[in-house]
Amino acid sequence: MNKTWIRRLKPEDVDTVAALNTLAFGGAEEAAIVRRLHADHDSLLSLVAHRHDEMVGHIEFFRILIGGKPSAVGLGPMSVLPELHGRGIGSSLVRMGLLVMAGRGESIVFVLGHPEFYPKFGFSAELAKPFKAPWSGPAFMANAINPGAPVEGELTYPAAFG
Ligand SMILES: CC(C)(COP(=O)(O)OP(=O)(O)OC[C@H]1O[C@@H](n2cnc3c(N)ncnc32)[C@H](O)[C@@H]1OP(=O)(O)O)[C@@H](O)C(=O)NCCC(=O)NCCS
């Protein structure tokens, strides 16, 4: 049976998650970001996907300040084991993470990622445009997951993002 299941990350998973990110991204930059987010206690939610005993996917959510207030969430990095791409694991991680964030009352989530991948979950570059951030363009997207989300402001990212 090829059952995939999703659970919260445990502190002892950090090395496995770092290895998965390095493999999926083909470099260690994202793994370092994940390590730093956790070391700085800036991670809001970290989910991992499993198949049997193997960790096959990971997604990170972290706090973003708008105008100095903790009123937004960032998504990323996220990764899936390369040989399992295209089987819905990444989408399941995004959907579950967004549900948890909405349930916690968060109103807006930002991502810097593939413009072809994130719109199907409600992310839009238009929505992100009025926000002042270290990035811009079609890869910078926002998703209003609850009513009353901020529509503009200056974003501050955690130190992990430099
Ligand atoms: C992006 C990623 C997490 C998706 O995971 P996945 O389990 O393959 O995702 P799913 O199977 O749920 O969905 C596959 C979709 O992702 C799209 N996708 C995957 N990689 C992509 C890329 N580099 N650019 C654009 N789209 C991409 C596929 O086209 C597919 O689209 P479709 O559903 O419309 O056919 C995975 O490809 C990955 O780990 N990539 C390397 C690391 C990375 O780029 N992380 C994301 C940074 S924003």
| 126-138 per-position pLDDT tens digit | 999 999 999 999 9
Task: State the distance from the centre of ligand 1 to the C-alpha of 114, rounded, in angstroms.
Answer: 8
Output the pTM of the full model: 0.95
Distance between CA atoms of residues 112 and 137, nearest Å: 9
In testing the pocket of ligand 1, which one of 114, 135, 140, 141 has its CB within 8 Å of the most ligand atoms? 114
At 90-132, the pLDDT tens digits run 999 999 999 999 999 999 999 999 999 999 999 999 999 999 9
Domains and CATH numbers, the chain: 4-161 (3.40.630.30)
Query: What residues are in contact with ligand 1 under a 6 Å CB criterion?
Result: 24-25, 76, 78-80, 85-91, 113-114, 116-117
| Nearest partner of 93 among 127, 126, 121, 58, judged by Cα | 58
Evaluate whether 61 touches 73 at the Cβ level (below 8 Å).
yes
